Amino acid sequence: MKTIRFPTPDALFDHAAARIAAVAAEAVRARGRFVVALAGGATPRPLYQRLARAATVDWTAAHVFFSDERCVPADDPASNFGAAKASLLDRVGIPDGQVRRVAGERNPIDAADAYEVLVRDALGPEGRFDCVLLGLGADGHTASLFPRHQALTETDRWVLPVHVSTEPAWRVTLTLPPINAAHRVLFLAVGAAKANAVRALVERAPIPAAHVRPSGGECTLLVDTEAATLLDA
Ligand code: 6PG
C-alpha cells in the first residue's frame, strides 16, 4: 500500500479529486464505464464537492455504489447515500439507474440481499470495481467492517448486514472479496483522531482496514499531517 501525506486536508482532497478523475477517465477508456463505490462518513464530503466541480469526469459513464450504508431512510442525516446525493450526485448528470443505493429503509437482511444482487449484476462474476473509496475509523474499521466482526472473514457474500454497537446499529457493507478485487482502493484519513488507526494500517497491525489488500489492484492511503503524526518521518 502506498501512503501519500498532505500538509492540509484541502491539499489531500484536491489530490484525491484529480486522482479519481484520472481513474475514471482511464476506466472509461479501457472498459467503457467507471464503476465506483463511494465511502461513507464525514471525511469524503469535501472530496465529493470537488468531484461535483470536476470538468473532466464523464458522469454519463459512471456507475455509483456505496462501500457501506447505515440502515436508515435516504433522507436521514446519517445516510451515506443522502450525504453523497447532496454533495455530488444531485450536482452531476448520472443517468437514472446508474446510482445504486442500499435500501436503508428496509429490513437489513433484505437490504443486503437486494444490494448484493445489484452489485453482482453490475460487476459480473469478476466483481471488480474500478475504484473503491474507503474511510478509516479510529478503531481501524473501514466501510462497516468492524473489529472482531464475522463479516471480516466472509469469503462468499459480497454484501452483508452487520450489527454494531454504535448508532445506527444496523448497517450494510461490502465485504472484503469485492473490495480486494478492485482495480483501485483509495483510503482517506484526515485529522489527529485517525493517527493511531493510520499507524496501525501502515504497519499492518490486526485491524479490519489492514485486511484490504487488493490482489490485482492498487491500494493508496491519503493522509493529512495530523493523521500522519505517528508515522515515521
Ligand atoms: C460509515 C463509513 C465508515 C467511515 C469511518 C470514518 O458509514 O461511517 O463507511 O467506515 O468511513 O467511520 O468516518 P468519518 O469519515 O466520519 O471519520
Ligand 1 centroid, distance to 175 Cα (angstroms): 15
Residue 173 beta carbon below 6 angstroms from any ligand 1 atom: no
Q: What is the mean pLDDT of residues 160-184?
A: 96
Residue 108 is assigned to a structural domain of this protein: yes
Reference 218, options 22, 74, 54, 40; nearest CA is 22
Residue 80 beta carbon below 6 angstroms from any ligand 1 atom: yes
Q: What is the mean pLDDT of residues 101-107?
A: 98
- Tens of pLDDT along 64-79? 999 999 999 999 999 9
Instruction: Determine how β-strand 62-66 pairs with β-strand 68-70.
Output: unpaired
Q: Is the pLDDT of residue 233 over 80?
A: no
Q: What is the mean pLDDT of residues 188-201?
A: 98
Residue 228 beta carbon below 6 angstroms from any ligand 1 atom: no
Mean pLDDT of the chain: 97
Residue 44 is assigned to a structural domain of this protein: yes
Residue 233 is assigned to a structural domain of this protein: no
Cell of 74: 435516504
Residue 178 beta carbon below 6 angstroms from any ligand 1 atom: no
Beta bridge partners of 133: 186
Q: Count other Cβ atoms within 10 Å, centred on residue 158.
A: 21
Ligand 1 centroid, distance to 200 Cα (angstroms): 17
What per-residue confidence (pLDDT) applies to 1? Answer: 96
What per-residue confidence (pLDDT) applies to 71? Answer: 98
Output the residue whose Cα is nearest ligand 1's atom 13: 41
Residue 135 beta carbon below 6 angstroms from any ligand 1 atom: yes
Cell of 157: 457474500
Q: What is the mean pLDDT of residues 21-49?
A: 98
Ligand 1 centroid, distance to 185 Cα (angstroms): 15
Atom of ligand 1 nearest to the CA of 134: 11
Q: Looking at the 3D structure of the chain, how many domains does it have?
A: 1
Output the residue whose Cα is nearest ligand 1's atom 15: 43
Rg (CA), the chain: 16
Residue 231 is assigned to a structural domain of this protein: no
Residue 161 is assigned to a structural domain of this protein: yes
| Residue 48's CATH number | 3.40.50.1360
Residue 145 is assigned to a structural domain of this protein: yes
Q: Is the pLDDT of residue 188 over 80?
A: yes
Q: For residue 119, give its domain range.
A: 2-224
Integer Cα distance of 225 and 194 in angstroms: 11
Integer Cα distance of 171 and 192 in angstroms: 26
Residue 230 is assigned to a structural domain of this protein: no
Cell of 138: 479510529
Mutate to test the pocket of ligand 1, among 12, 38, 67, 68 (most ligand atoms within 8 A of CB): 68
Residue 35 is assigned to a structural domain of this protein: yes
What per-residue confidence (pLDDT) applies to 80? Answer: 98
Reference 138, options 187, 80, 196; nearest CA is 196
